[in-house]
Structure 1
């Protein structure tokens, strides 16, 4: 396997449709395995070791599930179904476990299931440039930029440290480029103020802490249009992408029932619930409800 072939394999990860929702389970398992390999020199792991940490990543950065039992064992699906061109999965006696095995944590724990990326994959990832390219590709294709640092932290990846010591030697495959001028257009449409809290800070004449946020993520085929965007302060942008904040059909702010806070600053988020979004300037479209529905199903962490 060459570096190009590895990146092609990551691009071609099969993504099963689960109720029409995005399924970032395999990318998150792979990112966690990359983190494990970069810190320990091996991706070998038992399901019992991986279950809690990988399930937490999927709960934090994937679509919500209501069942507590499902939340605890969300790692089972990618552990079983990750492509065998990348991954070797066996039981406690060394017998291969096929991709038709049950997606159940208890079944995998009882059989001592353990997996490891193929030696040729690990050898490629031993080159920092290839590792950076693989991580960047997975982040770019499945998530949104405001989440990258949080995902890397949860996966045990020091991407900034890797990038200081090496440059990607294998450029990531081209992705759909963001439209030039998109961010400026969105900020102007909302008069350089957060559509949720009204923050409009600037340093001299330059806005600071304000960002153009996609409602339907760019990586998930969200268009670079004002109708799919909000001007948000950095805090509310991060909370919106994490699913703490959402929108109703009449464009009022929702706050996840899972969100908790104790002090005045944290409780200010709860106080946003029910407030209307600021409208864009005349002549600019409000957020399209199609994208609001996507965010509600795919990102917002309802109680």
Structure 2
């Protein structure tokens, strides 16, 4: 396997069909394995070792589930179904386990299931630039920039040096063009909302320069969200992160939701709860509001417990 072939395989990871909802289970498992390799030089792992940390990653950075049992065993699906050109999965006797096995954590533990990225893949990942490129590809294809540091920290990836050395032109698999972010999107969104957070009104500036304000995609760029004002919100850094994590969401009438999973003890933390049911600030005259279809996408794909109601 060459580096280009590895990148093509990662870019082509098949996503499970869970209705119309995104399922970043495999990318998160691979990112966790990359962190494990970076720390120890090996991706060998039993299902028992992977179940809790990988399930937590999927719960934190994927769509919510209502079943507690499912939430605890979400690692089973990618552990079984990760593509076999990347992944070698066997039982305790060393017999290969096929992708047709039931996706049940108890069954995998009973069989002593253990997996490892194939030796040719690990050989390529021994190059820090390749490991960084693989991580970046998965992050850019399945997530949004506000989550980059959070996910890297969660999986134990510190790629600062490798990022600086990697050649960006080698990261995208041949035959696959990365969709560039449109220049001017951020400035247009901030201008549309008067350089103030649409959730809390924060409008801090250092002299003439706004600080702590960002242009958030409602439907993520990586998930085919357009770089247009009708898919954007001006948000302070805190509320941008909470919006992309699914702590904050929107109702169709553009009132703010706060996830029922969110908890806080301090007065500052409880200030987030005070946003629940408040209207999003309207843009300046002549600027388009957020399109309902993008609000619906965020509610289904990102917001934790999409059914939460005002006055909960």
Into which bin does the TM-score normalised by the smaller protein fall? over 0.9
Task: Encode CA deviations 1:268-294: one digit per residue, 9 max, x unaligned.
Answer: 000011110000011111111100000
- 1:172 to 2:175 alignment: no
- 1:183 to 2:186 alignment: yes
Whole-Å Cα distance in 1 between the matches of residues 168 and 278 of structure 2? Answer: 48
- 1:70 to 2:73 alignment: no
Q: Secondary structure at the match of 1:276?
A: coil
Q: CA deviation at 1:169?
A: 7.6
2:266 maps to which residue? 263
Runs ≥4 residues deviating over 6 A: none
Whole-Å Cα distance in 2 between the matches of residues 157 and 205 of structure 1? Answer: 36
1:144 maps to which residue? 144
Q: CA deviation at 1:170?
A: 6.5
Contact 1:130 1:168 in 2 (8 A): no
1:53 maps to which residue? 53
Task: Encode CA deviations 1:255-278: one digit per residue, 9 max, x unaligned.
Answer: 000000011110100001111000
Residue correspondence of structure 1 range 72-111 to structure 2 within 5 A = 72-111=72-111
Task: Encode CA deviations 1:183-230: one digit per residue, 9 max, x unaligned.
Answer: 000000000000000000111111110000000000000001111110
- Taking only aligned residues, the RMSD between alpha carbons, in angstroms, comes to 1.1
Contact 1:54 1:75 in 2 (8 A): yes
Whole-Å Cα distance in 1 between the matches of residues 146 and 42 of structure 2? Answer: 29
Whole-Å Cα distance in 2 between the matches of residues 168 and 68 of structure 1? Answer: 43
- 1:298 to 2:301 alignment: yes
Contact 1:3 1:130 in 2 (8 A): yes
Q: Secondary structure at the match of 1:99?
A: coil
Residue correspondence of structure 1 range 1-303 to structure 2 within 5 A = 1-163=1-163, 166-168=165-167, 171-173=170-172, 174-302=177-305
Q: CA deviation at 1:171?
A: 2.1
Q: Secondary structure at the match of 1:258?
A: coil
Contact 1:130 1:169 in 2 (8 A): no
Whole-Å Cα distance in 1 between the matches of residues 76 and 195 of structure 2? Answer: 44
Whole-Å Cα distance in 2 between the matches of residues 268 and 148 of structure 1? Answer: 25
Q: CA deviation at 1:16?
A: 2.2
Q: CA deviation at 1:17?
A: 1.5
Contact 1:216 1:292 in 2 (8 A): yes
TM value normalised by structure 1: 0.98
Structure 1, unpaired ranges of 5+: none
TM value normalised by structure 2: 0.95
Equivalenced residue count is 302
Whole-Å Cα distance in 2 between the matches of residues 69 and 161 of structure 1? Answer: 40
Whole-Å Cα distance in 1 between the matches of residues 168 and 179 of structure 2? Answer: 21
Contact 1:129 1:169 in 2 (8 A): no
Q: CA deviation at 1:161?
A: 4.6
Q: Secondary structure at the match of 1:139?
A: helix
